[in-house]
Chains A and B, each alone.
Chain A
Amino acid sequence: DFENVLSPLCILDFCTSLGQSYPGKPKIIRCRSLEKETFSCWWKPGSDGRLPTNYTLFYSKDSEENFYECPDYRTSGPNSCYFDKNHTNPWTTYNITVTATNEIGSNSSDPQYVDVISIVQPDAPVNLSLETKTSAGIMYLWAKWSPPPLADVSSNSHVYHYELQLKPEKKEEWETISVGVQTQCKVTMLQAGVKYVVQVRCMLDRGEWSEWSSERRIQIPNGESSPEKPTIIKCRSPEKETFTCWWKPGSDGGHPTNYTLLYSKEGEQQVYECPDYRTAGPNSCYFDKKHTSFWTIYNITVRATNKMGSNVSDPHYVDVTYIVQPDPPVNVILELKKPINTKPYLVLSWSPPPLADVRSGWLTLEYELRLKPEEGEEWETVFVGQQTQYKMFSLNPGKKYIVQIHCKPDHHGSWSEWSSEKYIQIPTDFRVKDMVVWIIVGVLSSLICLIMSWTMVLKGYRMIAFILPPVPGPKIKGIDTHLLETGKSEELLSALGCHGFPPTSDCEELLIEYLEVEDSEDQQLMPSHDNGHPSKNAKMITKGKDSDSGRGSCDSPSVLSEKCRESHALPSTLQTQDVRDVQENKEGKRSWETECIASEQKILLFNNESTKETTWPATQLPDNHPPMFAYHSIVDAHKITLTTTNVNIASFLVGNEEHQSQYPITETVHDDMEKQREMENLHSKTDQTTVQVIKTRPNDKSPFLNPKLMDYVEVHKVRQDKETAVLLKHKENSGKREKYTVPGPSKEYTKVSTVVDHNILVLMPDSRIHHTSVIQEPAVEMSQNLQQGQAEKNMSYCLTVPSECKRETSGSEYMDPSSFMPFK
């Protein structure tokens, strides 16, 4: 098209007169892919029309109408276009045209259609080498070559098939051998004594065969030749007394070949033969001491001889002094020394090679050692000199080192091989670090000990008090003026043994730390609800032992518990026993026992039920557990006064324990019938409470079946908010140390206002007794009280020392003795 368009522009006369014309039509010679991934096209330019001509290659792909220009005019040389991987698609037919353009016009080649797969033709293999070998007397040709090199090395993983052709030099016909994918070939059945020409070519998959590689020629030796000349490899003297020379034989020419070593010494004409071919192995000659001279030069040659002839090696000149190469040192010993007070160091010791006679002075060896950490790259080399041991100090602890040693004669010769690798583990340098650590540990521990002992000294008496509680005296503190004004307090005071009125400071020391009330009557009158929480009862009982003293905080409940266990076989039917009988029986001891038994049984039951029962019962009330704490022991404060006058120190325990008698159990002896009547009144009230509880838990009857439970009550709380009342509480287990103190002015509590759940007795101040109102106090309020009590808890702990307690609790008249027992 271009031609047609442009040709009118050229006026024929004008053009021809200048001899210039549009370029001739170029011709695409061939397109070729070496490896299917790229391809190149070459063209032959037409005439240039005597003007500079540009050649442009355009191509289009079969599926597209676009024309593209050649991506690379250079790679494949002049007048070529190289399509790299990105421009080569094996599934596309390329339509290629070359256009030649000059000033006058242009000319396009005929289009060439290219399918990449069909134009694959690799380059010829390279590096063809030939070798003749003899195996089992059969001569064969061994040919090796390399695949064709590719411009793009990354695509050099193609598998080529090879073909080898050979012919005797003087013949025309080639013999072709298909090799396969290997790059070597063994050719047998060759004519001896003939020179062969060999070529090789390759093919990629189903493309075209490459060109034949360049020719290689080889003379196949016939059996008639003499051996090749051998080569002397080296001579070595291991100990500067003897030496050995080795040679490498050449081709033997297909015949058995003898090798002869001949030597002459400097300044001598005479030629000697090797004295010993055997000692040093095949193809070697050993010169013993007799045949070894120093300070002279040996001229050594090796002659190979077979029946066809002989060949002599190049001469080898040896000055024995300078070919001494000892064997490596032996007995390399690595030893780690750990001297006291210094860092550990490594001692290396070794022996000279056994052959070397270093004692004569004839051979003096110098040593060099090298070492590195096992994983290290670089050797650290140390020249040691003539000594055969060396100390290394600067080694990294915790690393494993490899050590090697070699040796060399002084001033001449060469280094031996390295000795075999020796390993040594440098231990971690624990000494310094551990010393520091141990010092710190020691200082700290001694400091702690010091502090502890100091504390012991300071607080010793308290600790002793914990362990061996002091004998408490009855103390009721803070009988306030109000109480005194009533006049009723006299009895109380006398009962407490505080004589003289008004109470002196001595009397004030008599704190009421523990108020206990025995109410076997109540127990009988009201069905107790203690079934679910027998442990509470048990605790209460144990409390009871020392209750009357107002102290007893340190008493162990276990004593009683054990006591109880002794008779735990008692059936529960006892619970149905008439309470009155027990009451009138007045045998507190016995009632105690039964109570113990009952409670012990309850304990067992309780333990089966749940361990949670150790919590404050009031909080438990709304929960599963039956209201077994509806109060059976109800005594008003007044009655306490009365009963305390009639204290029976009942050593209910077997009496072998002295302190039992010191913390006696208070037994209420109801001598006075009036008092008893009062009690009955109270009992009737408690009955009401009980009834209430029963109503709430109708199903759970068993707790009410135990009439014999006799509980001691602690003063838990003197409530001051509305109606000041003393809450008496069952002594329970150690978890409940809540204390109820009355911070307000001292008051006398003579009336029981109510029995709240969980063994809490609410006492009313004498002045205003509101039985009925308090009776119906719900358990919720109780729990509130509990919370208050917890707030006051802190005060409870120091009370083992009465004097301190007095200070801290000044103003609080009533305290819960249980709170004074930190061990519970």
Chain B
Amino acid sequence: AGGAVFGSIVGGSNIEERKRCAQEVAVRNVSGYWIGGFGLGESMEERPSLLNAVTDNLPKDWPRMICGLGLPEEVLQGVAAGVDLFDSAYIYHLTIGGFALTFPLDRTEKNDYNYQLSDQGSDRTKINLRATVYRKDATPIVEDCCCYTCQNHTKAYINHLLNVHEMLAQILLEIHNTHHYLGFFRSIREAIKEGCFEQFQKKFVQSRREHLAADVVSV
């Protein structure tokens, strides 16, 4: 009676069960697949084989949706395994924590963009606007971001809004975070279309690890 029905695929961290579930759901008459039970404690290392156990056993013609993968690296793992749709509360949790995404979306070689001193020791994905270091920072969250928040407001203003518990803080952060995150997905789509997704994933993960390594060295 109208509306697509997706079949659920579960199986925890058990490769055999994942495979069995996927195979069984694949023969049912559904319009797509909802993959559940990820992002609940499985490690980054064990996830790819669990994902592949599912997607290797699903037909290529129907969409695969996954719940629980939110971090950029996790999303990349999902995409690499053939997942199409991602649902998570990642952005929500960033926003209510006062965080704003800042990781670079630019896929060109200019990797030496300007990290402010405040990013030393951070994970280079995001900044927390509650930090007092932003009290007088009259620059936008991300310099060339074209979201409403970055086009109209400064870190100093958002810092103030968070400090005085004003709801406009969450509105502005959510706008930016959503925009930034959707931009990340756009980069992924472009990389896939250009046939260089594997490189994209490798470079992305590597650049994050490099910064972490650099932080360790500089301490």
A interacts with B: no
